[in-house]
């Protein structure tokens, strides 16, 4: 994959700017090394040129003096040449003396002019020539037209000596020297070299000035380059910083997109993307399975100890998975307290079961928080990729979801592997849920009523409202088939509210000495979680709407309502009792019974479950002590009692003799629609109440 070349590409800006900066800095460093040397060389050239210029001027001055002054003096009797001319009147200096005196006046420490000659001139102190001067004399003797320069260091000071030949360049000079008795020789010819004109210059001032100029130039260049370099570096730093910030943002976005911030495992989409690639890889032929894990202990932990406890439990679960599973196992978080694990290389269902068992073992140990042990309550739903099936992750996840939902709602089964029966069950639940939604919208629910009879006289004391759902084929669907679906979806709250309103309406049309019993679901006590009115509010509204006195309404609750010992549930029950309705404990003795319910809670009645009735019929000696104990307990606590499931005359007689107050069952009547309630009341009124004998055939026909 090619990367687009832009300035925002990571570190590219430095790769572009740094060479420029290095070139600029390197050039400046090179210039710093070169310029002082170049300026010193230029200063040396300047000093050399100045020396030559001074020598030429001295030669011109001497020539001029010889032609214009010395020639006239030689023809005059009034003036004469003298070395010590300043002491004699009418005496003028010799040309060489004149030149030396002018040089002495013009010379200083930095530049001096000398006239050097190997000849012993009269009236002049003889100064021997140095070795350097002799070498210069030899050079100029061979080539009088050249300029000879050489350097010298004396006492740490550098000097430049520049010399030219002092020649006989005027005929008058030749004749004068040849005719002078004091001349060192008599054969002078035009062009002969009679001496050296040498200028000595001190180089230190020239070098100092050159260095100063070089530093000024370097300073000017540096002043111009420094802002450029700084601008380049600042520009590169800003661009690089923004690039790094963008990279950091991109990295964080990638982490947030691909990894769960709390646990560091894959997000749902990242997990799907990676496993999709694995499944699509034709070279991967090993077994593959998906395992959804739900931590049921997170919600209670959040409620009891706050969200930090639940968050820490989730992190602990991930730690256990990472430590207990192979290194490259894919782990993802689907959200909340749900995780997904990919089982790679599991070839058969037996291996998958062992893998699931290992997952459950990792979650079995309680989670420690604030020196308390909190159970994780893990549930697992698994799905296996079939060898001939479509290699796609989404169907596997869907199957694992079904298995997990089945495991969570199946008693004693906290880990299941998907099979087709689960799919069929889910489809049936979905079908029922659709029917429930339609029934709520279009009035598809019905209430049937089963009479509650006096155990001795068989007179009707009241009715129990039983909800029915009518299917598309007109068949009535009993509550055992759809109530659990309605409870799971929360629709039971709306169904229950309708049931209470309808039951109160019908009860208001019945004789004033009859009551109406309505079953309540534990979910109705959590109606606020589904944003529905509380049960006490629903009951008060129904009573007010129907005009039914509160004491004629009986609400049946089950022991499962108290499993979590929720204070909110207790508060709702107390509100209902304050309203004046009667509360009955349904299915007593079959659930998680606790005798403390009977005196701590406002329970007015207990309903003995039908299982005790059938148990007595099958084995009277075994069931009788238990039934009699429960009956005696109800009497001792002054609780009314209703026995459910009476289907024979023997059962009716036994429980009547036992002193149970009320009974109900198919022996007396099946649940009837509202239209048949009046007839049912007439059949069990006054002297028409059936006698307690075995001959009840006439009354049994009335149960249809």
| pLDDT tens column, 68-100 | 777 676 666 677 776 677 777 777 777 777 777
pLDDT value, residue 701: 36
- 449 within 8 A of 464, measured Cβ to Cβ: yes
CB proximity list for 477: less than 8 A, separation 6 or greater: 432, 435, 468, 469, 470, 471
pLDDT value, residue 592: 53
User: What is the gyration radius of the CA atoms in the chain, in angstroms?
Assistant: 62
Domains and CATH numbers, the chain: 13-208 (3.30.450), 266-421 (3.30.70.270), 445-466+496-692 (3.20.20.450)
What CA–CA distances, in Å, run from 194 to 91, 121, 191, 245, 400? 24, 10, 9, 86, 123
**pLDDT at 255 > cutoff 70:** no
pLDDT value, residue 121: 67
Handedness of CA 320, 321, 327, 332 (dihedral sign): negative
**pLDDT at 247 > cutoff 70:** yes
Share of the chain above pLDDT 90, in %: 16
- 61 within 8 A of 99, measured Cβ to Cβ: yes
167-210 tens-digit pLDDT: 887 777 777 777 776 777 778 888 888 888 888 888 888 888 88
606-645 tens-digit pLDDT: 888 888 999 898 888 888 888 888 888 888 888 899 999 9
pLDDT value, residue 278: 82
pLDDT value, residue 133: 84
Map tokens 């909190």 to a residue. 374
DSSP secondary structure string, 9-54?
STTHHHHHHHHHHHHHHHHHHHHHHHHHHHHHHHHHHHHHHHHHHH
CB proximity list for 242: less than 8 A, separation 6 or greater: 8
Measured CA to CA, the distance from residue 522 to residue 697 in angstroms comes to 40
Share of the chain above pLDDT 70, in %: 87
pTM: 0.55
442-456 tens-digit pLDDT: 888 899 999 999 999
Mean pLDDT of 231-242: 82
Measured CA to CA, the distance from residue 288 to residue 41 in angstroms comes to 85
Of 369 and 463, more confident: 463
pLDDT value, residue 688: 42
Mean pLDDT of 343-362: 86
Mean pLDDT of 491-514: 92
Highest mean pLDDT among 52-61, 495-504, 582-591: 495-504
Handedness of CA 305, 306, 307, 312 (dihedral sign): negative
Mean pLDDT of 671-680: 88
- When mean pLDDT is compared across 46-60, 114-128, 455-469, the lowest value belongs to 114-128
- 621 within 8 A of 584, measured Cβ to Cβ: no
**pLDDT at 591 > cutoff 70:** no
Measured CA to CA, the distance from residue 515 to residue 465 in angstroms comes to 10
CB proximity list for 636: less than 8 A, separation 6 or greater: none
């Amino acid at each position: 994959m090619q990367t687009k070349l832009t300035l925002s590409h990571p570190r590219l800006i430095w790769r572009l700017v740094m060479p420029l900066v290095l070139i600029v800095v390197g050039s400046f460093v090179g210039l710093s090394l070169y310029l002082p040397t170049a300026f010193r060389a230029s200063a040396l050239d300047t000093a050399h040129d100045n020396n030559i210029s001074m020598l030429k001027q001295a030669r011109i001055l001497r020539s001029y003096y010889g032609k214009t002054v010395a020639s006239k003096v030689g023809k005059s009797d009034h003036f004469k040449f003298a070395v010590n001319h300043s002491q004699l009147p009418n005496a003028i200096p010799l040309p060489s003396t004149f030149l030396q005196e002018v040089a002495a006046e013009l010379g200083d420490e930095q530049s001096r002019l000398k006239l050097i000659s190997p000849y012993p001139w009269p009236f002049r102190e003889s100064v021997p020539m140095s070795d350097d001067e002799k070498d210069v004399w030899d050079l100029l003797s061979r080539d009088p037209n050249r300029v000879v320069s050489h350097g010298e260091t004396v006492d740490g000071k550098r000097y430049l000596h520049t010399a030219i030949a002092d020649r006989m360049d005027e005929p008058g000079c030749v004749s004068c020297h040849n005719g002078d008795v004091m001349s060192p020789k008599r054969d002078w010819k035009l062009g002969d070299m009679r001496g050296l004109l040498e200028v000595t210059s001190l180089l230190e001032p020239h070098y100092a000035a050159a260095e100063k100029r070089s530093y000024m130039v370097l300073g000017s260049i540096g002043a111009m380059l420094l802002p450029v370099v700084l601008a380049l570096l600042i520009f590169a730093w800003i661009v690089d910083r923004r690039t790094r910030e963008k990279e950091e943002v991109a990295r964080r976005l990638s982490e947030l997109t691909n990894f769960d911030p709390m646990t560091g495992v894959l997000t749902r989409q990242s997990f799907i993307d990676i496993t999709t690639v694995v499944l699509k890889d034709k070279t991967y032929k090993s077994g593959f399975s998906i395992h959804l894990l739900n931590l049921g202990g997170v919600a209670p932990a959040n409620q009891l100890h706050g969200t930090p406890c639940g968050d820490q439990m989730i992190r602990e679960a991930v730690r256990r998975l990472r430590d207990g599973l192979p290194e490259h196992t894919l782990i993802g978080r689907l959200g909340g307290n749900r995780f997904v694990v990919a089982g790679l290389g599991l070839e058969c269902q037996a291996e998958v079961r062992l893998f699931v068992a290992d997952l459950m073992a990792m979650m079995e140990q309680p989670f420690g928080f604030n020196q308390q042990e909190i159970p994780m309550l893990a549930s697992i739903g698994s799905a296996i990729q079939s060898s001939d099936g479509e290699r796609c992750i989404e169907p596997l996840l869907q199957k694992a979801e079904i298995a997990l939902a089945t495991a969570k709602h199946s008693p004693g089964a906290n880990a299941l592997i998907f099979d087709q029966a689960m799919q069929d069950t889910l489809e049936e639940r979905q079908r029922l849920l659709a029917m429930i939604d339609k029934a709520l919208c279009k009035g598809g629910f019905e209430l049937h009523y089963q009479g509650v009879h006096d155990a001795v006289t068989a007179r009707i004391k009241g009715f129990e409202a039983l909800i029915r759902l009518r299917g598309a084929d007109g068949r009535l669907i009993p509550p055992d088939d759809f109530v659990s679906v309605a409870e799971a979806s929360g629709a039971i709250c709306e169904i229950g509210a309708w049931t209470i309103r309808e039951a109160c309406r019908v009860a208001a049309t019945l004789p004033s000495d009859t009551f109406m019993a309505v079953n309540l679901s534990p979910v109705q006590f959590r109606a606020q979680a589904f944003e529905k009115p509380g049960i006490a509010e629903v009951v008060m509204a129904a009573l007010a709407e129907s005009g039914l006195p509160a004491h004629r309404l009986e609400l049946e609750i089950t022991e499962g309502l108290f499993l979590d010992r929720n204070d909110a549930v207790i508060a709702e029950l107390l509100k209902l009792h304050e309203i004046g309705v009667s509360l009955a404990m349904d299915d007593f003795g079959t659930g998680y019974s606790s005798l403390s319910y009977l005196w701590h809670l406002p329970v007015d009645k207990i309903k003995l479950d039908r299982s005790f009735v059938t148990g007595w019929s099958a084995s009277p000696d075994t069931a009788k002590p238990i039934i009699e104990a429960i009956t005696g307990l109800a009497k001792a606590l002054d609780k009314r009692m209703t026995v459910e499931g009476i289907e024979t005359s023997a059962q009716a007689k036994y429980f009547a003799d036992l002193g149970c107050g009320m009974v109900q069952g198919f022996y007396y009547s099946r649940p009837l629609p509202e239209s048949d309630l009046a007839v049912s009341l007439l059949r069990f009124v006054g002297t028409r109440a059936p006698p307690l004998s075995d001959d009840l055939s006439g009354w049994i026909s009335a149960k249809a």
